[in-house]
Amino acid sequence: MVLGCANVANVSATKRIAVIAGDGIGKEVIPQAVKVIAAAGAAVELTSFDWGADRYLSDRVTVPPDGFATLGRDFEAILVGAFGDPRVPSNIHAKEILLGMRSKMDLYANVRPVRLMDASLCPLKGIEPKDIDFVVIRENTEGVYGDVGGVFKQGTPDEVAIQEDVNTRKGVERIIRYAFEYCASNKKLDGSPRRRVLMCDKSNAMTHAGGLWQRVFKEVAAEHPNSEIETQHMYVDALAMQMVRDPREFDVIVTNNMFGDIISDLAAGLQGGLGMAASGNLRPGYVSMFEPVHGSAPPIAGKNIANPFGAILSVAMMLAHLGMAGEAHKIEAAVLEAVRQKKTTADIGGKLGTREAGEWVAQKISGR
Ligand SMILES: NC(=O)c1ccc[n+]([C@@H]2O[C@H](COP(=O)([O-])OP(=O)(O)OC[C@H]3O[C@@H](n4cnc5c(N)ncnc54)[C@H](O)[C@@H]3O)[C@@H](O)[C@H]2O)c1
């Protein structure tokens, strides 16, 4: 069973993929992911882009003027590493590239599957792989990450900082609709149907935005009266507690940009940490972007110790989305085997370096 997305593109021709490794460990894990694409024999044509801190520091360009238009016009998917570099304290390049891709290209659905490959990776007692198989669907273009707001009287004792939480009916409705479609069209890893969409908010305290999410959730749910899909609501604080107490009860979770960011990292902790988590940034019918959930991890960058599996599993997700389910299966099966045999980096208990773990998976796939 592949880590799915709600829509699958047509299968025919060679797919064109833009590759942006970015900064820090992105530059180490993406070459491993690319190696695995080749080993799986996927019919793709890769084009690398040098966007990131090095480029910004050399010519002050974050995204070239036609950058997003080129990605949208010439590619079926984008594979991204991570952005963030201590030499750019403002993180301006990361904001313009990553948040730019998500919002200017309107990749509104951030899909983060949460799957436990081996019981040893989960910090919770008595949890088996079959117990953790859910997905967080995060609104990716609005909320408090839209950079709306300002600072007043900066540097004085009266300083005021305002960060607005932007929620549009269009934005809320399409992500909730996406979650219902995802639930209806994706199965669990054991082959059973997905059954429940849970909307998570903080509508008891943030009544204006929460009210909109509540109303739209009920409206969209009412469009599925005869389906098998159950609906549920939880406040985000209660959900965080419950995710640690008993993650078995989750299936499809839909939420806003900030809550999705936080709970998907919490969820990554249940599956072995940030090094194991994959994601897709999707807009049905348009180019989509796939990336590991982790950041550029500057303290471990350049040491050949970063776990490449989040990036490799993001590739599996990308290929499945592009209609290459067979190749995606091969990659996931090889990663699963690596985890079982502890052919992994140290963060999940192995002794291999980034390159060696990537190589092991590539060799497993190609049967060498
Ligand atoms: N999508 C992105 O590009 C993205 C996401 C999150 C953070 N960032 C940026 O990355 C930089 C560092 O942020 P951070 O430290 O909060 O988050 P991070 O994900 O880079 O690291 C958090 C922790 O997880 C560990 N970790 C992350 N990925 C790992 C991997 N593949 N293997 C082993 N360990 C791994 C790190 O060593 C660190 O202890 C910042 O500049 C931040 O803005 C970028």
- For residue 300, report the distance from its CA to the centre of ligand 1, in Å: 9
pLDDT at 146: 86
pLDDT at 105: 93
- Residue 103's closest CA among 56, 144, 164, 52? 144
- For residue 265, report the distance from its CA to the centre of ligand 1, in Å: 10
pLDDT of 292-345, one tens digit each? 999 999 999 999 999 999 999 999 999 999 999 999 999 999 999 999 999 999
pLDDT at 132: 97
Per-residue pLDDT, averaged over 67-92, amounts to 96
Per DSSP, the three-state class of 112 is strand
83 lines ligand 1 (CB under 6 A): yes
Sign of CA dihedral 107, 66, 17, 27: negative
Checking if the pLDDT of 9 tops 60, the result is no
Q: How many beta carbons lie within 10 A of that of residue 128, not counting itself? A: 11
pLDDT of 23-57, one tens digit each? 999 999 999 999 999 999 999 999 999 999 999 99
Chain centroid to Cα 275, Å, comes to 12
In the sheet that holds 44-48, the strands lie side by side as 44-48, 15-22, 77-82, 288-292, 278-282, 109-115, 133-139, 252-255, 196-201, 230-235
| Buried/exposed code over 99-126 (b: 16+ C-beta within 10 A; e: otherwise) | bbbbbbbebbbbbbbbbbbbeebbebee
Per-residue three-class SS string for 312-338 = HHHHHHHHHHCCCHHHHHHHHHHHHHH
Which two three-digit tokens encode residue 39? 């080993």
Ligand 1 atom, smallest distance to 292 CA: 1
Checking if the pLDDT of 1 tops 50, the result is no
296 lines ligand 1 (CB under 6 A): yes
pLDDT at 228: 82
Per-residue pLDDT, averaged over 48-76, amounts to 95
Question: In this structure, are residues 29 and 308 in contact, taking their beta carbons and an 8 Å threshold?
Answer: yes
25 lines ligand 1 (CB under 6 A): yes
pLDDT at 6: 44
pLDDT at 110: 98
237 is a catalytic site residue: yes
190 is a catalytic site residue: no
202 is a catalytic site residue: yes
147 is a catalytic site residue: no
Least confident of 185-189, 242-246, 327-331: 185-189
| More confident of the two residues 358 and 1 | 358
Checking if the pLDDT of 10 tops 50, the result is no
Ligand 1 atom, smallest distance to 29 CA: 31
344 lines ligand 1 (CB under 6 A): no
pLDDT at 13: 78
Chain centroid to Cα 226, Å, comes to 31
What is the share, in percent, of the chain residues with pLDDT greater than 70?
96
pLDDT of 269-281, one tens digit each? 999 999 999 999 9
Q: Look at ligand 1, atom 38, and give the residue with the nearest C-alpha.
A: 297
Checking if the pLDDT of 225 tops 90, the result is no
53 lines ligand 1 (CB under 6 A): no
314 lines ligand 1 (CB under 6 A): no
Catalytic site residue from 15, 27, 202, 364: 202
Checking if the pLDDT of 5 tops 70, the result is no
Checking if the pLDDT of 172 tops 70, the result is yes
Ligand 1 atom, smallest distance to 83 CA: 3
Checking if the pLDDT of 72 tops 90, the result is yes
Question: In this structure, are residues 289 and 78 in contact, taking their beta carbons and an 8 Å threshold?
Answer: yes
- For residue 295, report the distance from its CA to the centre of ligand 1, in Å: 3
Per DSSP, the three-state class of 118 is coil
356 lines ligand 1 (CB under 6 A): no
- For residue 286, report the distance from its CA to the centre of ligand 1, in Å: 28
- For residue 26, report the distance from its CA to the centre of ligand 1, in Å: 10
pLDDT of 93-112, one tens digit each? 999 999 899 888 999 999 99
Average pLDDT score over the chain: 94
pLDDT at 189: 86
Instruction: Read off the pLDDT band of 80 (50, 70, 90).
Output: very high
Per-residue pLDDT, averaged over 137-155, amounts to 95
- For residue 274, report the distance from its CA to the centre of ligand 1, in Å: 8
Sign of CA dihedral 267, 268, 271, 272: negative
Catalytic site residue from 178, 261, 343, 364: 261
178 is a catalytic site residue: no
Checking if the pLDDT of 176 tops 70, the result is yes
DSSP state of 34: H
Q: Residue 119 and residue 126: Cα distance in Å, rounded?
A: 8
| Buried/exposed code over 133-143 (b: 16+ C-beta within 10 A; e: otherwise) | bbbbbbbbbbb
